[in-house]
Amino acid sequence: MNDAIKTILLWMVIGIILISVFNNFGPRRETEEKISYSAFLQKIKQGDVNTVTISDQNVTGKYQTGKTFTTYLPMRQDPVLLKDMLDKGVIVQGKQPDQPGLWVHLLNLLPWIIIIAIWIYVLRQQTGGGKGGAFSFGRSRARLLNADQVKITFSDVAGCEEAKEEVKELVDFLKDPGKFQRLGGKIPRGVLLVGPPGTGKTLLAKAVAGEAKVPFFTISGSDFVEMFVGVGASRVRDMFDQAKKQAPCIIFIDEIDAVGRHRGAGLGGGHDEREQTLNQLLVEMDGFQGSEGVIVIAATNRPDVLDPALLRPGRFDRQVVVGLPDVKGREQILRVHSRKLPLADDVDVSVIARGTPGFSGADLANIVNEAALFAARSNKRAVDMDDFEKAKDKVIMGTERRSIVMSEQEKKLTAYHEAGHAIVGLLVPEHDPVHKVTIIPRGRALGVTMFLPEGDRYNYTREYLESKISSLFGGRLAEEIIFGDSKVTTGASNDIQKASELARNMVTKWGLSEKVGPLTIGGQDEEVFLGHSITRHKEVSEATFSMIDAEVREIIDRNYKRAERILKENIEKLHAMAEALVKYETINLDQIHDVMEGKTVREPANWQSNKENSGKAKPKVKEKEKEESAEDKSLNANEGAAQADGSSVN
Ligand code: ADP
Ligand code: MG
Ligand code: ZN
């Protein structure tokens, strides 16, 4: 629970205790005798009463004896009572009704106290409990890193040389804005870093600050977007004010798409807040001259959704693309990250780089880290190639889960499924080469067929995509051919989904269909705002829609049939590979070749020792684990969520 609430609750408890203590130890009235109204009248008649004090309906009085009593008058006025009392010589006093005690006041306040507590709690949540405390929500939430706090330099960023070149200019400018102007240089104001996640955009922005040795304000686009209208805009204003005081400096807006989306997109308005924030950002960017020495760097992986106004001259007019690294880039990134690790002699970074097409810098950093962990776990002195290989598999496919115990039947089914993928993949044209097939469960997958592209691919041909669709169907088809329709599992649903997605994209996005032709339908279909996609779809007629459907279906049918034909024609290879898989659980490239050439499958190099290890590692079958694996099988796809672009896992 939140500290603020805790404190308030604590004070409330203390208060209540104090009040009840005061009430109990306050003026005691124990000596007072409580009597009924009729008894009271009786006493008056008998002349026993000396004085009474009446306050509203409460009566306290004194007997002639000096003892006190209290009673309570009925609502109905009794006109005779006063006369009777006066007749008997009772001294009658009136008194203002008692003021409610302190604690009654507090009790009345209680709901308010609770409301205020909740209010403060909500505000705290909103402001992330930052140093500003509860009432600073209009202030900028940018974090300021001082010049000496940014330790990252260009040497930490690898594999994106062009991007580095482009931002180096900013460093020159920040180091001495005056000199830059004297020489007539055009002063940059905003730079937009564009690229997929994990490619080092944040890193690059920090490196600019680190190289130039200037302060670095960092804020995420989502920090501007608030529940309260106007807060985002005032945050923007505040951030620019602060930055101007620190100039020369860098403002870094990470994930600017959160605030910089198209204005006016979406249904039913309700995006006023975001629009106001965006407008304020535009105003600020127009307002300052580059000469003030503030440079705004923003990063996004969705430049397509940005409001065009942001990209106009004088704003983020310069775009720097930070793309996925190529082979050489990956090698350099791996080197940067393994700089501080003791590497064994057999480590060849270029081999790892070649085996990781489509990986981002973040993925590669992750591999190096995992490799170091594997080495540490087995108490090695240096990280060797084996560790890297394991780390790569883990990052691509998820952790091996040897503890899942599959029944013989399940194992056989998975073996045929994976063999089906592999054999179709091997026998269709232009398919990525198979690298490894395994039926050891990994992550959420029960088995994995790994394909490794030879080089980096930037474009996909129709042939390539159709082959991929074929090999995706291979798994399910092999199950069907061997075990019959009734035994087919849900394990292939992910394959089928991927295949349909590919086919649909071929027709609607990449213009790779003969009948529909080069037509893009739906545009950026990940556009979140409903408003957009609705208007876009009007471009497409009903007739085109049904043509698309027919075309998608045809691509799928064609490749399904092709996969079926290949498997039926090569059924003995399918059997051989599945048997090898059941026996060895993982088969490597050599073994795959043996299968395809019809030879007996060789044993892998260190198979015996591996087998002993895994035998030892495997615990006795526990009922609970069995349940878990059964559940996994039914709920999850046969293949992992760890589908890394480029290195396809089928
Ligand atoms: P982005 O902001 O593009 O999503 P980050 O800059 O946050 O990516 O990258 C995350 C991490 O991945 C970095 O901290 C770094 O360790 C690693 N990394 C990413 N790209 C590179 C690169 N080009 N060179 C070195 N390390 C990188
Ligand atoms: Mg980032
Ligand atoms: Zn599959």
Condensed to tens digits (0 to 9), the pLDDT of residues 473-496 reads 999 999 999 988 776 666 677 888
Look at 161 and 528; give whichever has higher pLDDT: 161
CATH node for 408-641? 1.20.58.760
285 lines ligand 1 (CB under 6 A): no
Q: Could you tell me which residues come within 8 angstroms of residue 461 by beta carbon, excluding any fewer than 6 positions away?
A: 430
Q: Which residue has the tokens 């065009």?
A: 308
Tell me which residue has its CA closest to atom 12 in ligand 1.
362
User: Does domain 343-397 bear CATH number 3.90.340.10?
Assistant: no
Judge whether 418 counts as a catalytic residue: yes
Give the highest mean pLDDT range of 84-93, 189-198, 511-520. 189-198
The answer to whether the beta carbons of residues 566 and 426 sit under 8 Å apart is: no
163 lines ligand 1 (CB under 6 A): no
Using the 8-state DSSP alphabet, how is residue 379 labeled?
T
Same topology for domains 143-321 and 408-641, yes or no? no
| pLDDT over 90 at 120, yes or no | no
Ordered by start, the domain boundaries in the chain are: 143-321, 343-397, 408-641
Using the 8-state DSSP alphabet, how is residue 49 labeled?
E
Tell me which residue has its CA closest to atom 14 in ligand 1.
203
| pLDDT over 50 at 526, yes or no | no
193 lines ligand 1 (CB under 6 A): no
Of the candidate ranges 226-235, 267-276, 506-515, the one whose mean pLDDT is the lowest: 267-276
Closest to 468 in 3D by CA, of 555, 528, 531, 388: 555
Q: Judge residue 466's burial from the number of C-beta atoms within 10 Å of its C-beta, 0-12 exposed, 13-18 middle, 19 or more buried.
A: buried
Was 195 annotated as part of a binding site? yes
Ligand nearest the Cα atom of residue 488? 3
Q: Judge residue 51's burial from the number of C-beta atoms within 10 Å of its C-beta, 0-12 exposed, 13-18 middle, 19 or more buried.
A: middle
Q: What is the mean pLDDT of residues 103-109?
A: 81
| pLDDT over 60 at 642, yes or no | no
Q: What is the mean pLDDT of residues 113-121?
A: 86
For 379, other C-beta atoms within 10 Å of its C-beta total: 6
pLDDT at residue 132, as a whole number: 41
pLDDT at residue 426, as a whole number: 93
Alpha carbons within 13 A on the beta-carbon side of 10: 7
324 lines ligand 1 (CB under 6 A): no
Q: In ligand 1, which atom is closest to the CA atom of 160?
A: 23
Instruction: Note the pLDDT tens digit of each residue in 25-61.
Output: 555 555 678 888 888 888 888 888 888 888 877 888 8
pLDDT at residue 421, as a whole number: 94
pLDDT at residue 547, as a whole number: 86
Instruction: Note the pLDDT tens digit of each residue in 439-454.
Output: 887 766 777 787 776 6
Q: Which two tokens stand for residue 416?
A: 């045929």
- Percentage of the chain beyond pLDDT 90 is 18
Identify the H or E element spanning 294.
strand 294-300
User: Does domain 143-321 bear CATH number 3.40.50.300?
Assistant: yes
Task: Report how far ligand 1's centroid is from the alpha carbon of 197 (Å).
Answer: 8
Q: Which residues pair with 295 in a beta bridge?
A: 250
Of the candidate ranges 66-75, 367-376, 447-456, 612-621, the one whose mean pLDDT is the lowest: 612-621
List 418, 527, 564, 639, catalytic entry: 418
Q: What is the mean pLDDT of residues 136-160?
A: 76
Q: What is the mean pLDDT of residues 546-570?
A: 93
Can you tell me the distance from the alpha carbon of 338 to that of 332, in angstroms, rounded to the nearest whole number?
10
Can you tell me the distance from the alpha carbon of 140 to that of 138, in angstroms, rounded to the nearest whole number?
7
Q: In ligand 1, which atom is closest to the CA atom of 329?
A: 23
Q: What is the mean pLDDT of residues 251-261?
A: 84
pLDDT at residue 470, as a whole number: 95
The answer to whether the beta carbons of residues 299 and 219 sit under 8 Å apart is: no
pLDDT at residue 68, as a whole number: 87
160 lines ligand 1 (CB under 6 A): yes
Ligand nearest the Cα atom of residue 204? 1
Task: Report how far ligand 2's centroid is from the alpha carbon of 205 (Å).
Answer: 9
Look at 468 and 433; give whichever has higher pLDDT: 468
Fill in the amino acid letter for 120: I
pLDDT at residue 149, as a whole number: 76
Of the candidate ranges 133-142, 263-272, 600-609, 625-634, the one whose mean pLDDT is the lowest: 625-634
pLDDT level of residue 162 (50, 70, 90 thresholds): confident
pLDDT level of residue 70 (50, 70, 90 thresholds): confident
Q: Which residue has the tokens 């952790």?
A: 399
Q: In ligand 1, which atom is closest to the CA atom of 201?
A: 3
Q: Which two tokens stand for residue 469?
A: 């669709």
Task: Report how far ligand 3's centroid is from the alpha carbon of 472 (Å).
Answer: 6
pLDDT at residue 641, as a whole number: 31
Q: What is the mean pLDDT of residues 348-369?
A: 87
Of the candidate ranges 245-259, 444-458, 566-580, the one whose mean pLDDT is the lowest: 444-458
Can you tell me the distance from the alpha carbon of 310 to that of 495, in angstroms, rounded to the nearest whole number?
40
Ligand nearest the Cα atom of residue 256? 2
Instruction: Kindly tell me the sign of the dihedral angle through the C-alpha atoms of 332, 337, 342, 346.
Output: negative
pLDDT at residue 347, as a whole number: 87
| pLDDT over 50 at 626, yes or no | no
pLDDT at residue 22, as a whole number: 65
pLDDT at residue 357, as a whole number: 75
Residues for the chain: how many in total? Answer: 650
Was 417 annotated as part of a binding site? yes
| Integer angstrom CA distances of residue 599 from 303, 576, 593 | 53, 9, 8
Was 196 annotated as part of a binding site? yes
pLDDT at residue 433, as a whole number: 83
Of the candidate ranges 12-26, 200-214, 321-335, 413-427, the one whose mean pLDDT is the lowest: 12-26
Task: Report how far ligand 3's centroid is from the alpha carbon of 437 (Å).
Answer: 11
Can you tell me the distance from the alpha carbon of 185 to that of 218, in angstroms, rounded to the nearest whole number?
26
| pLDDT over 80 at 185, yes or no | no
| pLDDT over 70 at 209, yes or no | yes
